[in-house]
């Protein structure tokens, strides 16, 4: 039976990816040691998601390993060998702020962990599709030097700019900018994934996402913007808007849309129609983006109550004022993929599921 290995299987993207590949008939091996609870506290634990996968996904195998454990990762890959047809690497330390508290853990999880999973793939299943969940933070704070226009509820790119219509493409430089330590560790991993594709001829792809979201997100103040915001609104928890007057803009991509992108990548490589060693921007793009202020208004409408929020003028290091992904290169390479969930539908789904899980 063909096998898919998903690291970070209990996370937002990992769980959606597990379901997507299981639906295609692959046996999914999910690696997850619930580091999210260590990063952000018990409210952010992904244990509930693993238990749900074990109950609902036929053949799902849970492996509570750390991606930094070289022996455990190598033994797992050696056990399944070339039955492994696809590896989706989503495990990560995902927060700017947390990375500054413990740079060593951040770098070893994000960079060294990626290297170990790449090496295991190269030695035991070199023909497998390898997809790395990268980040737009590889570009550092370069987006903050774009010409932005302030509107009542959001910042927007000057309409005369080349990226105004479709968003930021992959030609943006990753050099000469402040990345945050998180951005550095993810950039190192991103480059490793590209290099293994180009140097060793592996079927590797790095997808540079912005905000990834959905009802399966264990959102916290430090990571998981929309899920955390909706939870605070629904439960009457005070919320802090950090920097830029709340007018900073993010595109948001539903985890199910990203999982569909992963299956499309694998299908395209299997058909011999894709090139390894590439990196692509991916996100909600112009179809699904909002500012913090706009998201607050939507959350209040959906939850039917007002949010108590406060403002902190100290923007986070390396944070973006405006990010909208241009996904045209990815869609061109991978069979016209497009996101299907807009911001209101994402927030409605988060609220609908969260009302049960949060209480």
- 223 pLDDT more than 90: no
Euclidean distance between CA atoms 44 and 38, whole angstroms: 9
Taking a C-beta distance cutoff of 8 angstroms, is the pair 149, 157 a contact? yes
Euclidean distance between CA atoms 203 and 210, whole angstroms: 23
**pLDDT tens digits, one per residue of 66-105:** 999 999 999 999 999 999 999 999 999 988 889 999 999 9
Residue 169 CA: distances (Å) to CA of 208, 242, 251, 331:
11, 26, 13, 12
Question: What pTM, to 2 d.p., does this model score?
Answer: 0.95
**pLDDT tens digits, one per residue of 323-345:** 999 999 999 999 889 999 999 99
CA angle 225, 228, 230 (to 5 degrees): 105
Q: pLDDT grade, residue 40 (50/70/90)?
A: confident
Of the candidates 155, 208, 169, 141, the one whose C-alpha atom is nearest the C-alpha of residue 322 is: 155
pLDDT for the residue 317: 72
Of the candidates 154, 183, 190, the one whose C-alpha atom is nearest the C-alpha of residue 323 is: 154
Domain residue extents for the chain: 3-357
Euclidean distance between CA atoms 4 and 24, whole angstroms: 10
Is domain 3-357 annotated with CATH 3.30.200.20? Answer: no
């Amino acid at each position: 039976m063909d096998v898919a290995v998903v690291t970070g299987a209990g996370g937002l993207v990992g769980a959606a990816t597990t379901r997507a590949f299981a639906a295609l008939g692959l046996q999914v091996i999910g690696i997850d040691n619930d580091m999210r609870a260590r990063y952000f506290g018990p409210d952010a634990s992904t244990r509930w998601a693993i238990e749900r996968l074990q109950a609902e996904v036929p053949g799902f195998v849970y492996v509570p390993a750390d991606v930094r454990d070289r022996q455990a990762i190598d033994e797992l890959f050696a056990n399944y060998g070339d039955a492994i047809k696809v590896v989706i690497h989503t495990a990560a330390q995902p927060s700017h702020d947390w990375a500054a508290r413990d740079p060593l853990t951040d770098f070893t999880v994000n960079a060294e962990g990626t290297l170990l999973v790449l090496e295991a793939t190269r030695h035991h299943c070199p023909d497998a599709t390898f997809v790395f969940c990268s980040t737009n933070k590889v570009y550092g704070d370069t987006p903050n030097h774009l010409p932005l226009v302030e509107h009542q509820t959001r910042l927007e790119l000057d309409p005369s700019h080349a990226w105004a219509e479709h968003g930021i493409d992959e030609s943006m430089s990753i050099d000469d900018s402040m990345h945050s330590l998180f951005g550095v560790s993810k950039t190192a991993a991103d480059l490793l994934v590209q290099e293994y594709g180009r140097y060793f001829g592996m079927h590797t792809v790095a997808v540079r996402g912005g905000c990834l979201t959905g009802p399966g997100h264990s959102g916290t103040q430090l990571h998981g913007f929309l899920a955390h915001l909706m939870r605070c609104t629904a439960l009457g928890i005070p919320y802090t808007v950090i920097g830029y007057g709340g007018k900073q803009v993010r595109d948001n991509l539903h985890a199910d849309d990203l999982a569909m992108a992963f299956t499309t990548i694998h299908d395209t490589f299997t058909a011999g129609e894709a090139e390894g060693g590439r990196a692509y921007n991916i996100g909600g793009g112009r179809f699904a983006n909002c500012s913090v202020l706009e998201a607050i208004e939507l959350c209040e409408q959906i939850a039917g109550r007002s949010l108590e929020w406060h403002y902190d003028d100290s923007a986070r290091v390396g944070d973006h004022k405006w990010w909208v992904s241009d996904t045209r290169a990815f869609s061109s390479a991978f069979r016209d993929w497009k996101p299907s969930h807009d911001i209101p539908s994402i927030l409605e789904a988060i609220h609908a599921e969260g009302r049960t899980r949060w209480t």
